[in-house]
């Protein structure tokens, strides 16, 4: 239950004069600090610095970097796990990037309860008078909106300003009824850093220690804000009830693998081979596996995260113990103010810093020693520093949602893209529409044991698991002993043309589309199937792919062996570049399907499967596969109720992509004059145009493609469809192409399957962007490897050499 605690909120403010080369020291001091919020100016960060490089797990971070390329500048606000920062948008749509100052303003919350607003500001010396006026105007609006429940910290550099700026500052202070609380002098007996607030109970003193070596002109400040803070003394009924019913999971990090593999090897599956009911067979299979796993793998213990700390993986038990002791000593000193208590606290703090420094050094030493034998561990470390360290809070109607509420909201959002009407899935009706020239020749009677073994061998050794909770690496490592029981189950499924219900449910994890935000619409679902279901689909897909390969359109380059984005682009360039070099113009129309993989009509898909030659027996299997598929959202361990996916192809599956390219296979047949290229759902039409007649031919193909989309219930997102004219003529032909009677957007640059293309096809933009990205990634890796003593040469190829064959020949001319 919540209780009200009249406590204080501790802010540490410091001008650090740059963080880019000092992140290790910064994080080490941050870990041992007792403050609740950190306000930092002159961070010197830019877009190449990831949040994870300057933050700790569990900490909320907001930052504003200098965007014009000048050194230093930049501000950030960071708070511990106990609190939350919600960025406040600036009024009148002011674009901070267009000005010379940096500022972050945030509302500080705890358990959805507002405490106060905090702003951190940096404006460089001798800034223009107009910049100060804009800055004070923004702060004035914030003070008015939040009724002076605001704390403003920052380096205002007022001593370098003219009289007009100083006068306006006095006016701002008077109008907003704030006072300058900082009386701590610097080496020149001045206060360059200001603490402004209209709140009572704001106290400023010299900081015991900064997060960087102390600059004599900018001493660190300790700001104490009296605040009414709700605390939790016990779990709320909602959370406690949820934990009581939370499904326990196996902790494979602590498994006894020697015993586990031994028991799996000696498992007796003979009883299962005598059974014929599919559901009973599968239940027995999972029951036997479950008994073995319970013997060898402990269950995870779920605890509520009320602690303000979420420790890095390299923390030792001694460090965690010292952190708790230091917190108690700091609380004791704040209460008693005695010198002896401070000395005990200072000794503990120094001891903790030493422990952290040693542990971190040992951690990096272990990583570099493992690099030669296990490069994967190094790249895991690099990725941990590149990704976001803290989950973004999800907000609805101004309130932060709990994890359980998030799971429910994501489920409702993801479910909304699917059809609500169940498909008919009538095999006889599908077969009746098949042309007489099509013979039913695509059939799978049984799978061989080698098919199953190959599918198991191709599994990636991942620790993530589907709804059954068993990770893929276990099936791959034990493929020799699990292939036989799986082979029997799979052939029983094929014989009965049935897919078990347990294998038609998918675990879905929300993942940000780009930078994580508070809105659920900024997330996409990543689906994870149970591993046995995925292996089954892989074996089926391999068999069907071989039988339908000859019938698949040559225009399709997605999800096909030997084809890729590069082959798609090479075909495109082989047609466009010779024409452009000859002085001709090529018009290309790019199309975007609306939720293509989720919007596939299953009845239409069944007809497509029949038309490509699937036998009635195999069609009945696909009917069982598509009928009543379900998903549920897993958000931080909390599971939503399952919901039906009555349209689309199965996400996270092997059969889903094959089904989709079969679904779209007839689209190129309607194109008469243009060249058509596909990569999964990425469609483009291109045609060399000499006059308006050629443009009309391309328009006719666009109309036929649009009609195909309506006939097959797979619609375009017209607002995202575009057209571009490739050529170097001074006066190119400009024709207004339309899709669904709406003019298509004409663009001067497209990103085609990862390659940036411009009308002149010089690739300058693409080469500039990938070089910039490559150097940014290299700098990031070097920063993380700072302090490594064993020099190892590594080659980083993947991002910079994407579709290299398409544009490599142009590098010399640029």
The dihedral region occupied by 658, where left means phi > 0, alpha psi between -120 and 50, and beta the remainder, is alpha
pLDDT at residue 309 above 60?
no
What's the CA gap between 532 and 775, in Å, rounded? 42
Which of 62-71, 629-638, 661-670 ranks highest by mean pLDDT?
661-670
pLDDT at residue 807 above 60?
no
Instruction: Please tell me the predicted confidence (pLDDT) of residue 69.
Output: 65
- Please give the domain boundaries of the chain with CATH numbers for all domains: 2-232 (3.60.10.10), 237-296 (no CATH), 317-386 (no CATH), 404-757 (no CATH), 764-810 (no CATH)
- What DSSP string runs through 693-741? HHHHHHHHHHHHHHHHHHHTT--B-GGG-EEEEE---SS------EETT
Mean pLDDT of 87-102: 80
Mean pLDDT of 297-311: 62
Mean pLDDT of 206-223: 86
Write the pLDDT tens digit of every residue in 413-443. 999 999 999 999 999 999 988 866 567 789 9
Instruction: Please tell me the predicted confidence (pLDDT) of residue 808.
Output: 58
Which of 113-122, 192-201, 310-319, 714-723 ranks highest by mean pLDDT?
714-723
pLDDT at residue 783 above 70?
yes
Instruction: Please tell me the predicted confidence (pLDDT) of residue 804.
Output: 59
Instruction: Please tell me the predicted confidence (pLDDT) of residue 236.
Output: 38
Instruction: Please tell me the predicted confidence (pLDDT) of residue 391.
Output: 62
Instruction: Please tell me the predicted confidence (pLDDT) of residue 216.
Output: 86
* Measured torsion, CA atoms of residues 67, 68, 72, 73, in degrees rounded to the nearest 10: -60
**566 CA to centre of own chain:** 25
Q: Where is 590: in which H helix or E strand? A: strand 585-591
515 versus 298: which is more confidently predicted?
A: 298
Q: Output the six-digit token pair for 797.
A: 């190829």
What's the CA gap between 447 and 539, in Å, rounded? 8
pLDDT class for 70, splitting at 50, 70, 90? low
pLDDT at residue 547 above 70?
yes
Mean pLDDT of 623-627: 97
Instruction: Please tell me the predicted confidence (pLDDT) of residue 232.
Output: 46
Burial class (CB in 10 A: 0-12, 13-18, 19+), 610: buried
Q: Closest Cα to residue 101, out of 137, 144, 65?
A: 65
Q: Are 18 and 42 within 8 A, CB to CB?
A: yes
Instruction: Please tell me the predicted confidence (pLDDT) of residue 238.
Output: 41
Strands 75-79 and 102-110: unpaired
Instruction: Please tell me the predicted confidence (pLDDT) of residue 303.
Output: 52
pLDDT at residue 234 above 50?
no
What's the CA gap between 575 and 569, in Å, rounded? 10
Q: In the chain, pLDDT over 90 holds for what percent of residues? A: 51
Q: With the C-alpha atoms ordered 214, 218, 222, 227, is the resulting torsion angle positive or negative?
A: negative
């Amino acid at each position: 239950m919540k209780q009200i605690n009249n406590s204080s909120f501790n802010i540490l403010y410091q001008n650090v004069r740059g963080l880019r080369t000092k992140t290790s020291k910064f994080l080490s001091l941050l870990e041992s600090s007792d403050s609740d919020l950190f306000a930092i100016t002159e961070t010197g960060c830019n877009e190449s610095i990831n949040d994870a490089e300057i933050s700790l797990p569990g900490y909320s971070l907001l930052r504003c970097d200098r965007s014009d390329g000048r050194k230093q500048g930049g501000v950030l606000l960071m708070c511990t796990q106990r609190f939350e920062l919600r960025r406040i948008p600036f009024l009148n749509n002011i674009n901070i990037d267009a000005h010379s100052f940096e500022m972050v303003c945030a509302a500080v919350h705890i358990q959805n309860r507002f405490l106060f607003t905090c702003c951190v500001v940096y404006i460089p010396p001798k800034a223009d008078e107009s910049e100060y006026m804009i800055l004070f105007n923004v702060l004035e609006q914030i003070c008015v909106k939040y009724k002076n429940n605001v704390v403003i910290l920052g380096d205002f550099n007022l001593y370098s300003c003219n009289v007009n700026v100083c006068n306006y500052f006095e006016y701002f202070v008077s109008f907003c009824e704030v006072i300058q609380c900082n009386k701590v002098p610097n080496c020149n007996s001045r206060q360059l850093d200001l603490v402004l607030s209209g709140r009572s109970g704001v106290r400023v003193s010299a900081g015991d220690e900064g997060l960087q070596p102390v600059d004599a002109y900018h001493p660190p400040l300790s700001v104490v804000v009296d605040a009414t803070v709700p605390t939790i003394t016990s779990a709320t009924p909602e959370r406690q009830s949820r934990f009581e019913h939370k499904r326990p999971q196996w902790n494979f990090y602590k498994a006894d693998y020697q015993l586990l593999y031994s028991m799996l090897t000696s498992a007796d599956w003979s009883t299962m081979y005598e059974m014929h009911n599919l559901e009973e067979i599968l239940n027995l299979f999972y029951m036997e596996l479950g008994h073995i796993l319970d013997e060898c793998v402990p269950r995870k213990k779920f605890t509520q995260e009320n602690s303000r700390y979420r420790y890095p993986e390299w923390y030792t038990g001694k460090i965690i113990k010292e952190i708790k002791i230091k917190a108690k000593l700091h609380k004791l000193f704040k209460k008693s103010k005695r010198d002896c208590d401070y000395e005990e606290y200072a000794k503990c703090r120094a001891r903790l810093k030493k422990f952290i420094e040693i542990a971190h050094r040992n951690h990096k030493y272990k990583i570099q020693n493992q690099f030669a034998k296990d490069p994967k561990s190094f790249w895991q470390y690099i990725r941990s520093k590149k990704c976001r360290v803290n989950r973004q809070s999800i907000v609805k109607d101004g309130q932060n949602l709990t994890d359980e509420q998030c799971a429910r909201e994501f489920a409702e959002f993801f479910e909304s893209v699917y059809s609500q009407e169940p498909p008919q899935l009538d095999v006889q009706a599908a077969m009746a529409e098949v042309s007489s020239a099509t013979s039913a020749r695509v059939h799978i009677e049984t799978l061989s044991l080698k098919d199953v073994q190959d599918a198991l061998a191709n599994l990636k050794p991942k620790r993530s698991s589907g709804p059954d909770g068993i990770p893929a690496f276990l099936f791959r490592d034990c493929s020799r002993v699990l292939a036989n029981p799986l082979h029997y189950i799979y052939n029983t499924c094929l014989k009965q043309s049935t897919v078990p219900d347990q294998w038609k449910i998918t675990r879905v994890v929300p993942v940000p589309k780009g930078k994580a935000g508070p809105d659920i619409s900024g997330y996409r679902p990543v689906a994870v199937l149970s591993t046995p279901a995925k292996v089954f689909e892989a074996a089926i897909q391999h068999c069907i792919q071989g039988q339908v390969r000859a019938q698949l359109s040559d225009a399709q380059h997605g999800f096909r062996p030997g084809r890729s984005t590069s082959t798609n682009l090479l075909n495109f360039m082989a047609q466009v570049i010779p024409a452009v070099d000859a002085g001709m113009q090529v018009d290309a129309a790019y199309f975007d399907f609306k939720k293509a993989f989720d919007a596939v009509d299953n009845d239409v898909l069944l007809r497509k499967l029949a038309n490509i030659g699937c036998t009635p027996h195999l069609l009945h299997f696909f009917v069982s596969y598509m009928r009543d598929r379900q998903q549920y959202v897993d958000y931080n361990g909390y599971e939503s109720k399952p919901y039906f996916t009555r349209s689309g192809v199965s996400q996270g599956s092997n059969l889903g992509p094959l089904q989709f390219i079969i679904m779209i296979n007839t689209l190129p047949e309607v194109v008469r004059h243009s060249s058509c290229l596909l990569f999964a759902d990425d469609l483009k039409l291109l045609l060399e145009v000499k006059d308006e007649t050629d443009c009309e031919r391309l328009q006719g193909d666009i109309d036929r493609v649009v009609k195909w989309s309506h006939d097959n219930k797979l619609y375009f997102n017209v607002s995202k469809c575009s057209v571009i004219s490739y050529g170097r003529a001074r006066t190119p032909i400009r024709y207004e192409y339309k899709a669904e009677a709406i003019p298509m957007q004409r663009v001067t640059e497209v990103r085609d399957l990862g390659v940036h293309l411009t009308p002149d096809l010089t690739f300058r933009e693409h080469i500039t962007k990938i070089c910039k990205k490559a150097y940014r990634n290299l700098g990031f890796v070097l920063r993380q490897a700072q302090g490594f003593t064993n020099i190892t040469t590594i080659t980083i190829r993947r991002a910079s050499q994407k579709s290299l064959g398409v544009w490599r020949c142009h590098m010399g001319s640029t």
